[in-house]
Structure 1
Amino acid sequence: MSEKQQRLVLSIIDFLNQSISDGTIKSDDKESIEVAVQCIGEAFGVDPSDQQQVERLSVKPATLPTIFDVYLKTREKVASTSQSSAASGSTASKGPSAEDKAKADKLKQEGNALMSSKKYDEAIEAYSQAIALDTTNPIYYSNRAAAYSSKGDHLSAVGDAELAIATDPKFVKAYHRLGHAQYCLSDFGAAADAFERGLKLDPSNASLKSGLENSKARITNDGSNDSQHDVSTSDSGAAGGGMPNMADMLRNFGGGGGAGGGAGGMPDLASMMNNPQMMAMAQQLMANGGLGNLMQNPAVANMMSRVQQGDMPSMEELMSNPALRDLANQFGAGGGR
């Protein structure tokens, strides 16, 4: 029995148990469903009472209904885009008007500014309005995917990254968005596949290489996901000593108006801590004792004190601090020092 199958079975069992507890299932049917849950678990070797197994197989915070909802929304969006193009007939090749493109680009810039201010819901709305005006630009879908990931809604990010790829299969940034979202959902096999697809288009892309290595490190020998494995620190885009390159990580999250641009502005700390490379860097620091030395830096200690009090500094604020900027440069130039 593959672990992927067991993950699906556990999600089904969780859904049925939730339906029993919230009253979705009638009381007359409750006993039958409980028996069915037991039979399904035994047939696939899944025991919801085994906490260690549940932790290994769980896809939370995603649930079966949310995963299915993202699938339906993605399918509807793709179908809507296809029908719109078909209905346009001979005008389809012309695409949006110059005026619509200009309005859409302005909305994208507004979304980028909102991302810099951590106003993710407002940024999503701005990107959505841009998409409504111009469905042919993959950057808008990609930027909205980044906004979804920034607020922790990685399932929606997957849907938008797929839409960006469907709009332009050669848009490399979308493969990184997709891989990052899949990685955060602990679907390391799908993440690796996304990074590999991107590398076929851009074999020298350090961010994609790093993401692929980190994803592969989390996949067991039989090809199923295993969230218990440590993140690999030997990726091709890393600096000396296995330390991920800080500059590459900033580029992953950084803004930009170009085709390869991100969602705009400097990245926020919460987004960085969702990044597999950042997690690899943190694990490397803990492994070699560097974390203790790092915390002796007064600027870092002050930052962590603020974080504990709920005051999350922006990346722009961090990089304006000479001590922290020097620290970031050290990571980018030679993490093995």
Structure 2
Amino acid sequence: MTEQALLTTLLRLLFLAAGIEAKPAGLMLSDSKKQLYVSIVNFLASELSNTGYSEDTIESLEVAKQCLESAFHLSDAQNDKIDNLLTIYERGLKASLSSPAPAPAAQTAAEVSPENKAVAESLKTQGNHCMTEEKFNEAVTCYSKAIELDPHNAVYFCNRWVVFF
């Protein structure tokens, strides 16, 4: 299976788990849904240019962007015509500031130590090895332990999810 096919399959599986049905290539998405997906892709693309992210985060953002583009058959030409999600969110937030309801406080993600990142990467590699040997239960265990050590790396979640496919 090619990397692109694997990413597409993975995204469709994630959407199914979330109760969202990705449309086959022959069916049209509603304009509002397509605009939403394109705005998410635009946001991910803009975040890829942010030099403050780690290599792991950039890789996760790129994978997410490619998955959405592939799953919903989005093109770069479409992406240029729609604002990114952050712009849309900021407009909505600005409009809601006149509302009397207070906005919930944002939580900041705790930093993962370099040691935990290294152990998590080792567990991911071990899980990948288990997958090639079709030791699926062991692979799930490895990926789950990696997630416990570094819950901010989407690759670990994706790898664990692939085991169930």
Give me the TM-score of the superposition, normalised by structure 2: 0.38
Which one has a larger percent helix, Structure 1 or Structure 2? 1
Higher relative contact order (CA 8 A, sep 6+): 2
Give me the TM-score of the superposition, normalised by structure 1: 0.20
